[in-house]
Each structure stands twice: as structure tokens, then as C-alpha cells.
């Protein structure tokens, strides 16, 4: 059931993000495809984090996170941010700082700086709602796409 469910859910194509936080002077980050928009006014987003993730406590304790929407060229970086220590994940990765001081991946198609706005326990994940405090986007580059466990890039069909 679990493998079949995973396979079925993987048919839903998503973008790919790296979500960062900064707590007690250390950067944390993980790859995330569950990011989504919720509300425009006020601006609210969400994503879900595995309850066992090492990023959960730093996010809850620091009270915020920053979403970098990855560009089509970022597939290696996406894999880097789901393995290794957090220090290793950021090694040799070009970043800038959002107004919050949290890391933004250079070349990201868009980024959103968010104050943690609610936590909803949901099975083996927690849904983290975020109030968007600052954001930016580039309209002239393609985002990375994830579907059926593979990375790709957006292509128009018509
Ligand atoms: C494409 C992709 C999407 C992912 N999406 C999520 C997600 O939405 N939520 C999550 O908790 N983990 C997600 N992961 C897994 C985490 O990136 C990975 O388990 C995590 O970084 C492991 O380290 P941690 O436990 O130290 O956070 C995803 C991984 C990949 C490759």
C-alpha cells in the first residue's frame, strides 16, 4: 500500500524548493516539494515537514523559514539538500541573505521569507503555515520540476 500510494502521489508534478532557517548562528536547509500557496490576502503559504526531520526543531524554535524555488539547473543542489550534515549541505553553495538573515539559494526563481504562522500535526508530517513577509521572483527563468521521482523542466504542450 505504502509503495503504491507513493507511486500514485508521485504522478502529481510539483516544483522543488530548498527551505532554510537560521537558529543560534547556524544555517539549516532541506529539499521540499510540498510547498504550496494558501492565501493571497493575507499572504500565506504552507509545506509539510517529516516529523523526524532535523530541520523541524530549528524552524519551530527560530519561528520562521525562507523558501527558495529552485531553477531547472538546480537538480544536483536538490539532492545535496536531502543528504549530509547541514554544514555540508551549504558548503560551496552560493547564497544571499533574505531580510530575515536566512539563506536564499542564488539563482532561485523566487524566494519567500516567512514567519511561522501555524503548525498542524498530520500523521507522520507537520504542516507548517507561513506568513510571507518579503518575497522576490525572476520571471525569465524556468523552475525545476519533480514528477515520478525524476527531475525535469517545464515545457509547453501547446
Ligand atoms: C524532490 C524532493 C522533495 C522533498 N520534499 C520533502 C518535503 O516536502 N518535506 C520533507 O519533510 N522532506 C522532503 N524531502 C526529503 C528531505 O529533503 C530529506 O528527507 C531531508 O532533507 C533529510 O534530512 P533531515 O532529516 O536532516 O531534514 C524531499 C526530498 C526530495 C529529493
Q: Which atom of ligand 1 is nearest to the CA of 55?
A: 27
pLDDT tier, 44 (very low <50, low <70, confident <90, very high otherwise): very high
Look at residue 1 in the predicted model and tell me its pLDDT: 63
CA of 78 to the centre of ligand 1 (A): 9
The model's pLDDT over 70-114, given as tens digits with 9 standing for 90+, comes to 999 999 999 999 999 999 999 999 999 999 999 999 999 999 999
Domains of the chain: 2-137 (2.30.110.10)
Contact predicate 36/46, CB 8 Å: yes
Ligand 1: residue whose CA is nearest its atom 11: 49
Indicate the pTM of the whole model. Answer: 0.97
Look at residue 158 in the predicted model and tell me its pLDDT: 81
Pocket, ligand 1, Cβ cutoff 6 A: 16, 30-34, 47-50, 53-55, 78, 82, 146
| Short-list 69, 55, 50, 47, CA closest to 20 | 55
Look at residue 155 in the predicted model and tell me its pLDDT: 87
Amino acid at each position: 500500500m505504502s509503495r503504491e500510494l507513493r507511486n500514485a502521489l508521485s504522478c502529481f508534478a510539483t516544483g522543488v524548493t530548498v527551505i532554510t532557517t537560521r537558529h543560534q548562528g547556524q544555517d539549516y536547509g532541506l529539499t521540499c516539494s510540498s510547498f504550496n500557496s494558501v492565501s493571497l490576502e493575507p499572504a500565506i503559504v504552507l509545506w509539510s515537514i517529516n516529523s523526524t526531520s532535523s530541520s523541524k526543531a530549528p524552524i519551530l524554535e527560530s519561528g520562521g523559514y525562507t523558501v527558495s524555488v529552485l531553477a531547472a539547473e538546480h537538480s544536483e543542489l536538490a539532492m545535496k539538500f536531502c543528504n549530509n550534515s547541514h554544514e555540508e549541505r551549504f558548503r560551496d553553495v552560493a547564497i544571499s541573505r533574505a531580510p530575515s538573515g536566512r539563506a536564499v539559494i542564488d539563482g532561485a526563481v523566487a524566494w519567500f521569507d516567512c514567519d511561522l504562522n501555524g503548525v498542524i500535526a498530520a500523521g507522520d508530517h507537520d504542516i507548517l503555515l507561513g506568513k510571507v513577509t518579503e518575497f522576490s521572483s525572476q520571471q525569465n527563468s524556468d523552475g525545476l520540476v519533480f514528477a515520478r521521482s525524476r527531475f525535469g523542466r517545464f515545457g509547453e504542450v501547446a
